[in-house]
């Protein structure tokens, strides 16, 4: 059965000089309002132990516009300013709900410049988008069509560090589930091979950052030689940002193609719950792990499986997928990272990555059958093992290799 989802469609556009100036002013005002409201909320909490609501922040914004110092806030659309306050309110809601850290101030240099417009602040007619306070429509490159007969509910305009302009339109889209299949796949993430499948296939890691590392290093050296505050330094900074953007775009494109293929071909997708943040503490592998973008691949698999009616099973991070022999169920005592092939006491020779992917698949099928393993499991206080690990070891021990 088809389902309705909220989906963002992102396009690049090329503003005129007047539009660019108007959007730049809007970005600055959004950042100022957000930071001022955050400052007031922080002062009220630490000084008076009092929480400021969104309604109170909105009233403060009205008072700020009446002052001579901040009268320029009236020159831009009020909707992005109100949306900034709503985003701040969401940040505090997540903080008090212990789902996020305390909101941080937006930096002019480090934060992404963006502004969000709701339906009252833009016009979308005949395939043309016109924002509030602007005379003409934006020159958008329509790389793919919007859903037929659907008008965006929210429009977010942004400018990245490379100076590229993007518009993201949030629409209601109808997603048709993929045809049901009996295939299932276990996925083991790696560095030499980006992922290894339980079928034995190894997807080569493109290593996008490594391919452009020489260009990036040369551009960064040129940037370091430029005088701070000069126009030449800004040009050099823009060149560095463009190289980073090129790397990120190619990596994202590859991950989208890979995740879409895995979701289309398999009814059940099994992955491991990797703690990428902790893995990045290994300074010898941090750069390669960041370039592989395992967390981004998992995010793509999560929402695409939900969209197309697939099942995503996440196995406990403590499950010994690499050390567990897929033939007899014996767990090797030690298996250093440089050992890529090992022989078990039963005589079976295992490829480290393929064996891990097969064990993950067996664990995922066992966990799916008992309704466990969809989320990372906590360790049992009595046995020190998760229910997924126990179920998997029972399912894989003494069974033939998949």
From the candidates 22, 116, 209, 272, which is the catalytic residue? Answer: 272
From the candidates 188, 209, 316, 372, which is the catalytic residue? Answer: 188
Q: What are the phi and psi torsion angles at 158 (to 5°)?
A: -145, 160
From the candidates 209, 353, 372, 391, which is the catalytic residue? Answer: 353
- 324 and 401 in contact (C-beta within 8 Å)? no
Angle made by CA atoms 244, 248, 251, in degrees to the nearest 5: 140
Upper half-sphere CA count for residue 258 (Cβ side, 13 Å): 27
Q: How far apart are the first and last CA of the chain?
A: 32
Q: Encode burial over 98-129: b for 16+ CB neighbours within 10 A, e otherwise.
A: eeeeebeebeeeeeebbbbbbeebbebeeeeb
Q: Could you give the 3-state DSSP secondary structure of residue 124?
A: strand
296 catalytic? Reply is no
291 catalytic? Reply is no
Closest residue by Cα to residue 9 from 147, 187, 180: 147
Q: Which two tokens stand for residue 136?
A: 């003409």
Rg (CA), the chain: 26
356 — alpha (psi -120 to 50), left (phi > 0) or beta? alpha
Instruction: Give CA–CA dist 402/398, Å, rounded.
Output: 12
List, in sequence order, every residue forming a beta bridge with 314; answer none if it has no partner: 271
Helices and strands per DSSP (H, E), number in the chain: 11, 14
188 catalytic? Reply is yes
Q: H/E element holding 286?
A: helix 286-292
Q: Which residues are catalytic?
A: 188, 272, 353
């Amino acid at each position: 059965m088809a389902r309705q989802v909220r989906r963002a469609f992102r396009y690049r556009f090329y503003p005129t000089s007047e539009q660019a100036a108007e959007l730049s002013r809007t970005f600055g005002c959004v950042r100022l309002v957000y930071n001022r409201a955050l400052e007031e909320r922080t002062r009220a909490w630490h000084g008076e132990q009092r929480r400021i609501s969104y309604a109170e922040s909105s009233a403060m914004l009205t008072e700020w516009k009446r002052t001579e110092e901040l009268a320029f806030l009236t020159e831009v659309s009020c909707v992005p300013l109100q949306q900034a306050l709503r985003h701040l309110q969401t940040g505090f809601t997540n903080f008090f709900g212990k789902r996020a850290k305390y909101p941080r101030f937006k930096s002019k240099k480090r934060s992404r410049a963006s502004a969000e417009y709701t339906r009252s602040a833009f016009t979308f007619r005949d395939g043309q988008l016109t924002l509030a306070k602007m005379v003409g429509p934006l020159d958008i490159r329509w790389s793919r069509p919007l859903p037929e007969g659907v008008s965006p509910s929210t429009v977010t305009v942004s400018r990245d560090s490379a100076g590229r302009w993007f518009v993201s339109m949030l629409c209601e889209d109808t997603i048709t589930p993929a045809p049901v299949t009996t295939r299932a796949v276990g996925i083991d993430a790696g560095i030499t091979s980006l992922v290894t499948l339980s079928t034995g296939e190894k997807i080569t890691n493109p290593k996008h950052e490594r391919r452009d590392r020489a260009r990036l290093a040369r551009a960064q050296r040129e940037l370091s030689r430029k005088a701070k505050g000069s126009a030449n330094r800004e040009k050099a900074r823009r060149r560095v940002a463009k190289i980073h953007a090129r790397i990120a775009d190619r990596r994202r494109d590859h991950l989208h193609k890979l995740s879409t293929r895995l979701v289309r071909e398999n009814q059940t997708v099994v992955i491991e719950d990797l703690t990428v943040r902790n893995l990045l503490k290994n300074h010898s592998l941090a750069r390669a792990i960041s370039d592989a973008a395992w967390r981004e691949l998992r995010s793509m698999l999560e929402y695409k499986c939900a969209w197309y009616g697939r099942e995503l099973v996440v196995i406990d991070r403590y499950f010994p997928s690499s050390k567990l022999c897929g033939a007899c169920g014996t767990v090797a005592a030690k298996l250093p990272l440089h050992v890529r092939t090992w022989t078990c006491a039963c005589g079976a020779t295992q490829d480290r990555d393929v064996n891990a992917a097969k064990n993950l698949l067996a664990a995922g099928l066992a966990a799916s059958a008992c309704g466990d393993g969809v989320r990372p499991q906590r360790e049992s206080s009595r046995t020190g093992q998760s229910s997924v690990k126990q179920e998997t070891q029972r399912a894989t021990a003494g069974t033939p290799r998949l």
